[in-house]
Amino acid sequence: MDYLIVTGSSGAGKTLAVHALEDLGYFCIDNIPAGMLAPFARLALEHNELDRVAMVLDVRGFRTAQQVQNSLQQLRQEGVQYRTLFLDAGDEVLERRYKETRRRHPLSIQLDISTSQAIRLEREIMRPLFEQADYIVDTSLLSTAQLRGRIVGLFSQKGQAAMALNILSFGFKYGQPKEADIVFDVRCLPNPFYVPALKPLTGLDQEVVEYVMQSEASQGLLRRMQDLVGYSLPLYVQEGKSQLTIAVGCTGGKHRSITFARKLAEYVQQLGYHPTVQHRDINRTT
């Protein structure tokens, strides 16, 4: 049985993720108490009726991190293999979402505290789950469609695919992605931003790609990045890693990083991997 625990910060998009998982054939249960994780898994295994199960575990289903640890330990003791998806977003983003929806954070309701206090408290309670998660998705800058695409990319059945590989371009000026396992910095290369004809374009445009890749420095850096990625990916698969995010950053996340992210994606496809590609900051206007 494919047993997936969906958890994370309140307001980070767990409901949207569940909808995508249901479309992939998962039987989903929302807001399950932590103590019910093992009993339900045992029931599903005994009756052999479900082969893909997603259980949504959030702060409403437990009071302390220790309760979760105990439940996960019970799963392991009973031989239940499970994976954990953790959805997260920045504190400011979560606060804004609660203001826009005019809803209250679960801990605000339970403890009569402010939204900001509730977010900080929840983050502390959730820390053990975050640290041991198999998949971490930061939804701060993802649209509904982008989040759905990310979930589908991670959990659609891909036959022999052994590891979910995500290649992400970003701008350092907007912060380094928290979910990144490997980060490449291409700010040392010629910047199309300072070429008037190229400034409004992105790394999706051939003119930008040609400008970025025309220098020997760019070509040499790409070769070395490919060598490192090509050498390390089989090691990650052998080690049993289920998800790997490779992030490529430039200053603004629109030209050099996109160019190199696409080049890396093309390279790993030739190696037999099936990467998803995201350009986090391509639509930034400031």
Report residue 175's pLDDT band, with 50, 70 and 90 as the boundaries.
very high
Query: What is the predicted pLDDT for the residue at 55?
Result: 92
All domains of the chain in start order, with CATH? 2-155 (3.40.50.300), 164-279 (no CATH)
Give the span between the Cα atoms of 164 and 95, in whole angstroms: 30
pTM assigned to the model: 0.62
Distance CA 222, CA 216 (A): 10
Contact 5, 57 (CB under 8 A): yes
95-135 per-position pLDDT tens digit:
999 999 989 999 999 999 999 999 999 999 988 889 889 99
- The model's pLDDT over 58-98, given as tens digits with 9 standing for 90+, comes to 888 887 888 888 888 998 898 888 999 999 999 999 999 99
Mean pLDDT for all residues in the chain: 90
Q: What is the DSSP letter of 34?
A: G
In which band, very low, low, confident or very high, does the pLDDT at 161 lie, cut at 50, 70 and 90?
A: very low
Q: CA of 235: how far to CAs of 39, 229, 247, in Å? A: 36, 10, 18
Please give the pLDDT value at position 159.
41
